[in-house]
Chain A
Amino acid sequence: MTMPLMRPRRKNPVLRTRQMNLPPWARGRVALGMTAAAAEGRFELQACDACGAVQYPPRSACHRCLSVRLVWREQGGEGELLTETTLHHSNDLFFRERLPWRLGFVRLDAGPTVMVHVHGDVGAAPQRVRVGARLDRAGQAVLIGFPMEGSANMADDPMLREMGCDPKFRKALVTDGKTPVGQALVRALVAAGADLVWVGHAEPWKRLGGLEDITALPQVSLVPLDLSDGRSIVEQAGSIGGKVDIVINNAEVHRTHGIASRRGTDVAHAEMDINYFGLLRLAQAFGPALRGRSADGTASATAWVNLLSIYALSNFPPQGTYSASKAAAHSLAQCLRAEMTPAGIRVVNVYPGPVDDEWNQNVPPPKLSPEALAGAIVKALKEGIEDVYPGDVAQEWLQRWRDNPKVLERELSMNRGA
């Protein structure tokens, strides 16, 4: 049974901060299909559309019937751990720094034999296990053999903790505490065991509902932070940037205009200034310190979360300028991910449908509650998921967008989008 993780001792500032050596990140194009599914929290293997064979490792043809009609199919993952080893030597620095390391071969009920990292709660082979896919610190999918029944502290398994971004004992920054989503995030992080939560507050002189509730929590501190103000961000990064392990950028400006419904560009400017440039300013100020601390012990820097919108994928005309700013932020978040992944920091992009808040008052249900959104984000951190589409609307839009983005665009322009 996994022993509970102990609260890390205060860091000795004189000692050198250990630097990240990533696990092997090279993968072929075909194999990246497994990463694409794991990025959304699913375990998928290649299956043959012609004969039904499930195969692993991924290939360019069905090993049984040679069909090229290969699809990625979600797997239950149950199987038998047939044999295992514990490595005491590794040729790679990442593993060398984390020995001993347990591996196994699992014969999946679906057919193939897969090599897996073995969770510490799994008993000695032979043993029934459930295989799942996770992103490793290099951001690539790996398979993990989980016990059939989890124990209380199984998330604290050292191998598993490397694969996720669990807030437990970590320090987080939520960039905007005045919104219901921001406050729900703070509560969810505290509930998940976060050590400290800094909560950004752009206008500290204003008293806003809900702030008292969260600042009453002993883990929470309010900090002045205005994403439209580069100096405010740099000052805050100078103060807490070297301690933040998880950045959650939820600050946004959300207005409900298309092009014709409003004259001028001031609102669109404000949306872009926070939703796009705010992210850019924040990433430039907080990114470097985060990158430098990704191997800093069991509570290392680990993740950057961007609150985007499902409208980033395809413009929702009634909220056209907001959609455009989120599309810009989505694109920048991809750049941020490309820059943070080589340092071992996961960038989690969150694409909710309409949240049940004041700016979506006129949008019919279903709408996502702030609590559900916060819960989805914390779950993604725990499980190391990097693309999150929380709620039914986001899931439906995602399916329609994947099915045919042009059809979705036309449906939205015909005002049948929501």
Chain B
Amino acid sequence: MARLGYDDVAVAVPVTVPYQRFSNEGAHWFIGQAVRGLIERSGLAKDRIDGLCLSSFSLVPDTAVGVTQHLGLSPRWLDHVPTGGASGVMCLRRAARAVQSGDADVVACVAADTNHVDSFRQTLGAFSDFARDATYPYGSGGPNSVFAMITAHYMRKFGARREDFGRIAVAQRQNALRNPNALFKKPLTLDQYMTARPIADPLHLFDCVMPCAGAEAFLVMRRERARDLGLEHVLVRGAIERHNAFSDDPVMVCGGWRQDRDDLYAQAGVGPGDIDLLQSYDDYPVIVMMQFEDLGFCEKGEGPEFVRANTLTVDGSFPNNTGGGQLSAGQPGAAGGFMGLTETIRQLTGQAGDRAVAGARLGLVAGFGMVTYDRCLCTGAVILGSSQ
């Protein structure tokens, strides 16, 4: 059976609750600020939001259910999506189906996490059964150790060099300097990248994201509703997700995007060459490089050459992570999985300020989440199109 398209689904009102390195507030505070932002910016009455799709790690032991009472919401459709870095794409997919079926009119998609001084360390050992049993007792490096090994393996297999990853990090920092919400405010040179202190060979400091507190949110509704409300919006052209793909690969060399990308481009009726900007999921630069390959911008193993041949800044030949990504804006937990979506909505609706990619009409947002053992299991991607 052919899949139902998403063409009549609009995404609007990108809200970012400013990131903070550490916060004494809880996740509920950030969720509340995000929902408030959605209401203020959309002009909708609170009770007009009749769907809520939430993603958060630090909300525990609470869930989206508790949030409805906490914030005085009474949605008729509710979901809680625990896929971390892939939650943006996945919340959008679920919300889109809810509004298409009429189960909800306006769905608030919200991702928020706080970051106390000791939050990150406490999250690591209890992140999953497999992390507790089979990775955290081995050096307790967290995701750094897993992705260090994935990076080392990729470098050996495909001839990538540290400089190639450095180009990704340096370009994202240049983009971040045009993003007032980015926590990193200073330029980064390739030399600084190369000489940074080692974290887990071959990863060095600027290969790693910095955990922070923050929230990201957007509204999903039918296209007609967005038009009626007079909201600037983008359209969902296609969307995919996949879990635990390529599990026979003993070390991750490609992500689940590869398995479903033909479907993604077919839904949108476009090809990789038509994409104007990419928000790749940048937990580590090697994963950005894999997305260039697995989303079809180049062949497997050509990532290093692709990076050498392109400039990845907003004014470059291949704009990637136009707001700086998590590497340069900060990693606000589950909200890191929403960052690419809010940024792309801004880019395609003329709200990106001086970091706007000129003439951009199609943006691809990829998500990647949940390193339960030796890799992230969840991949997703969505193509958003300008409504103009």
Binding site for B on A (CB under 8 A): 23-28, 30-31, 56-58, 82-92, 94-95, 101, 103-105, 107, 113-117, 125-126, 136, 138, 140, 142
Contact = CB atoms under 8 A, between A and B. Distances in A.
26 contacts: A25-B137, A26-B126, A27-B133, A27-B137, A28-B132, A30-B133, A31-B132, A56-B134, A57-B134, A82-B250, A82-B251, A84-B149, A85-B141, A85-B200, A87-B141, A88-B197, A88-B200, A90-B139, A91-B142, A92-B136, A92-B140, A103-B149, A113-B251, A114-B134, A115-B138, A138-B137
Contacts of A103: 138-139, 141, 145, 149
Given A57-B129, A85-B202, 13 more contacts: A23-B137, A24-B125, A26-B125, A30-B133, A57-B134, A84-B149, A85-B148, A85-B152, A85-B201, A87-B144, A103-B145, A125-B153, A142-B137
Interface in B141-199: 141-142, 144-145, 148-150, 152-153, 156, 197-199
Contact of B121 (A88, A91, A114, A136): A91
A83 B152 contact: yes
A142 B135 CA distance: 10
A28 B129 contact: yes
Contacts of B134: 31, 56-57, 114-115
Contact of B152 (A23, A27, A84, A140): A84
Among B124, B133, B141, residue most surrounded by chain A Cβ atoms (within 10 Å): B133
B373 interface: yes
B112 to A, nearest CB: 23
A315 B198 CA distance: 59
Contacts of A26: 125-126, 132
A142 B132 CA distance: 12
A31 B133 contact: yes
Contacts of A105: 149, 153, 250-251, 374
Nearest to B140: A92
A129 to B, nearest CB: 14
Nearest to A89: B199
Nearest to B133: A31
B250 A107 contact: yes
A24 B136 contact: yes
For the complex of A and B, the 3 pairs showing the least CB-CB separation, nearest first, are: A92-B140, A85-B148, A83-B153
A117 B138 contact: yes
Contacts of A104: 149
Contacts of B153: 82-83, 105, 125
B137 A24 contact: yes
Contacts of B133: 27-28, 30-31, 57-58
Interface in B176-233: 197-203
A104 B137 CA distance: 13
Nearest to B146: A115
B385 to A, nearest CB: 39
Nearest to A106: B250
A56 B144 CA distance: 21
Contacts of A101: 139
Contacts of A117: 138-139
B250 A87 contact: no
Contacts of B141: 85, 87, 89-91, 95, 103
Contacts of A125: 152-153, 156
A168 B140 CA distance: 29
B343 to A, nearest CB: 29
A89 B374 contact: no
Given A56-B134, A86-B200, A103-B149, A95 B250 contact: no
Contacts of A91: 120-121, 124, 140-142
Given A83-B153, A87-B145, A105-B251, A140 B137 contact: yes
Nearest to A138: B137
Contacts of B149: 83-85, 103-105
A107 B252 CA distance: 12
Contact of B373 (A25, A30, A57, A92): A57
Nearest to A90: B140
Nearest to B197: A88
A180 B319 CA distance: 79
Among A86, A94, A114, A140, residue most surrounded by chain B Cβ atoms (within 10 Å): A86
B202 to A, nearest CB: 8
Contact of B374 (A58, A115, A138): A115
Contacts of B132: 24, 26-28, 31
Contacts of A107: 250-251
A115 B138 CA distance: 7
B139 A88 contact: no
A58 B133 CA distance: 8
Contacts of A88: 197-201
Given A83-B149, A83-B150, A105-B251, A142 B124 contact: no
A83 B201 contact: no
A26 B130 CA distance: 11
Among A23, A30, A115, residue most surrounded by chain B Cβ atoms (within 10 Å): A115
Contacts of B126: 26
Among B133, B139, B142, B156, residue most surrounded by chain A Cβ atoms (within 10 Å): B139
A115 B372 CA distance: 13
Contacts of B197: 88
Contacts of A142: 137-138
A140 B200 CA distance: 24
B152 A115 contact: no
Contacts of A23: 137, 140
B152 A116 contact: no
B117 to A, nearest CB: 13
Nearest to A112: B250
Contacts of B202: 85
B374 A113 contact: yes
A115 B140 contact: no
